[in-house]
Amino acid sequence: MAERVGFIGLGAIGRPMAKHVIARFGGLVWNRTPERSRRFADETGATVAPSVAALVEGSDVVVTCLPTSREVREVVQGTERQWRSGQLLIDATSGDPATSREIAAWLGQRGVSFVDAPVSGGTSGAAAGKLAVMLGGEAAAVARAHPIVETCAAKIVHVGGVGTGDALKAINNALLAVSIEAAGEGLAALAKLGVPAAKALEVINASSGRSNVTENLIPERVVSRKWPRTFRLALLDKDVGIALDVLRQTGVPHEAIGMAKQACAEGRKRLGAEADHVELVKLIEEQAGVEIR
């Protein structure tokens, strides 16, 4: 019999992911702000669960996509009476390994399996069903999660035990933060020397300094001056913080990532909760007194 899949969290990335999952499996959705789930249901024909408890009750597999592991723990432990043996929780949040292990242990006592399944590829990757997904969990749970995750992924990797998907995702996003800072600073300096961004990027993107930041984010968001808001800086700051914890716990030097963490924390304070991660470049431009165009 087909799995009944429920999706919790219709935010910037959860929403396009849920579209794919629900199109393939049907099932229930729930979002804290009901207006968002109503709009989603109008557009997709999905069924909105009357409460998060009803969603857990009515699903074999639950997918969560919330800001941090704290909200996941809150939702999971707040529906204690609804969880039953044989269910699976797939957590697509970019979570922190320690809290994921705690949630997995709590659910495990109730016979429920847990897989951390953070994603990369942004809202456009999610809309296209082309995310990269890193799975942490036991082989059987990961195998069960596969067909559900496949609906929105181009790349799925089983990384290791619970929490390893989260650790890898955090490191990936720490690299993203370092790249944004480095590219912003470098291009601002070149702009001050009178080198247009298009010319600088033409060379960098054919050279060893290229990255997703220089190939996509800077041209599409900074040079265009469009500054779309798709991934909140506050969430990137959270991810880099998780990465720093991983580096500290493993006794690895963390100078570059430590600096990126400071920039994210400062940027989050100055730009506010809704600012996009690429807006970090605005602060570099402001300080340098130049625009990257």
Q: Which residues bind ligand NDP (CB under 6 A)?
A: 9-14, 31-33, 36, 65-67, 71, 74-75, 93-94, 119-120, 122-123, 230-232, 235, 239
Minimum distance between the CB of residue 120 and ligand NDP, rounded to whole angstroms?
6
Minimum distance between the CB of residue 231 and ligand NDP, rounded to whole angstroms?
3
Integer Rg of the chain from CA: 20
Pairing of strands 88-91, 61-64: parallel
Q: Which residue is nearest to ligand NDP (CB)?
A: 11
Active site residue 169: yes
Tell me which amino acid residue 39 is. R
Q: Which is nearer to ligand NDP, 67 or 147 (CB)?
A: 67
| CA distances in angstroms from 42 to 6, 22, 26, 71, listed in the order given | 17, 13, 14, 26
| CA distances in angstroms from 159 to 140, 155, 249, listed in the order given | 14, 12, 19
Minimum distance between the CB of residue 99 and ligand NDP, rounded to whole angstroms?
12
Q: Which is nearer to ligand NDP, 66 or 218 (CB)?
A: 66
Annotate 112-140 with b (16+ C-beta within 10 A) or e (fewer). Answer: bbbbbbbbbbbbebbbebebbbbbbbbee
DSSP code, position 222: I
Contact between 166 and 197 (Cβ < 8 Å): no
Minimum distance between the CB of residue 282 and ligand NDP, rounded to whole angstroms?
18
Minimum distance between the CB of residue 236 and ligand NDP, rounded to whole angstroms?
7
Residue found under tokens 């705690």: 102
Q: Which is nearer to ligand NDP, 197 or 242 (CB)?
A: 242
Residue found under tokens 């909105």: 48
CA distance 186 to 204: 11
Q: Which is nearer to ligand NDP, 158 or 169 (CB)?
A: 169
CA distance 37 to 8: 10
Q: Out of 19, 130, 155, 169, which one is annotated catalytic?
A: 169
Q: Which is nearer to ligand NDP, 127 or 290 (CB)?
A: 127
Active site amino acids = 169
